[in-house]
Amino acid sequence: MAKIIDSDLMDKKCNCNSKSKLDDGRCFYDGDCRRSMVVYCLKCNITGKVYIGKTQVYLKKRTQQHITDVWKVIESGVKKFGPNWTGSGGYAKADAFAKHFANLCRNCTNSNQVKAKMKEIMTPTILWQGDRIQCMKSSRTAQCKICMIERIEILHRMRTDRSKIMNDNSDIYASCKCASRFHKFSRIDCKTLRTRITQKKVTSTRHSKQRRSRFSFSNTKLNSPSSKSSTSICSPCNSRASPPPPMTPVTPEPASPPNEGFLIDVNLFGYQPEVSPKPLEQLTNLERDQLRSHYELESRVYDV
């Protein structure tokens, strides 16, 4: 499958707005925000610890889910245990990333403050990216390719320095959670695909609520050939209406002469028309048979 890709979540250019970018105008993900099927690393700039994860969707979307979990841990901990909450704060879906950064952002009072502080204390990078079509073949199995790359990276960092990684053993022994889905195949070298992706969308000039004029007999008019005035197809029937013009008499067609003899259906008995008169010596055997059958058919009709 050379030059064939999945166009559903293919790599695209950065589309971050001014709020999600850094103060100097650079992309928070260094231009890799719209890359999918990756193994990423989220580094804490305060403690130096890293979190290794994987995603099938865009990196920007998965990172935003991590930041949302951080705020849910803080919100749940303050609501259930007060300002001195610890750990996951009672949030059931909290992972090692959410626990670590929620402890550093515990003074934030809303989600916007958490997002602003996470841009200062976290640095995302991509460690590995795989082909979407090839990785989807092994999803939901024990040999899932993207899951194995993530586990190898976690084990390597645990053996190097266990204190510098946030992941726990559940990220190694957990089952594959990659979703399998259908592909939307496209060719890279197709000119129509490049044109469709790069061209600008043209907005329609017709409004969706605009109604088209319907056909009605009251609005339909016919132009008279003698004058330019138009008359309606159906005129009201009343006493004041002008009488119709007199009709011209139709002459009947002359009656056809009576038929003589009988009518013969030419489709019956393989009837053939009369042949041109020839001397019997010049007729072929086929023409003699046709002439004989013709006279026999006539004799049958007149006998009836």
In tens, the pLDDT along 31-72 reads: 999 999 999 999 999 999 999 999 999 999 999 999 999 999
Give the residue with greater pLDDT, 250 vs 283: 283
pLDDT above 80 for 166: yes
- Give the dihedral sign, CA 159/160/162/166: negative
- The token pair at 238 is 């009343």
Single pTM value for the model: 0.61
The residue with tokens 């909290």 is: 94
d(CA 94, CA 103): 12
d(CA 263, CA 266): 9
What phi and psi values does residue 218 have, to the nearest 5 degrees? -70, -25
pLDDT value of residue 200: 62
| Mean per-residue pLDDT of the chain | 80
What phi and psi values does residue 285 have, to the nearest 5 degrees? -60, -40
- The token pair at 194 is 């490049």
pLDDT above 80 for 213: no
DSSP string for 240-296: TSPPPPPPPPPPPPPPPPPP-S----TTSTT--PPPPP--GGG--HHHHHHHHHHHH
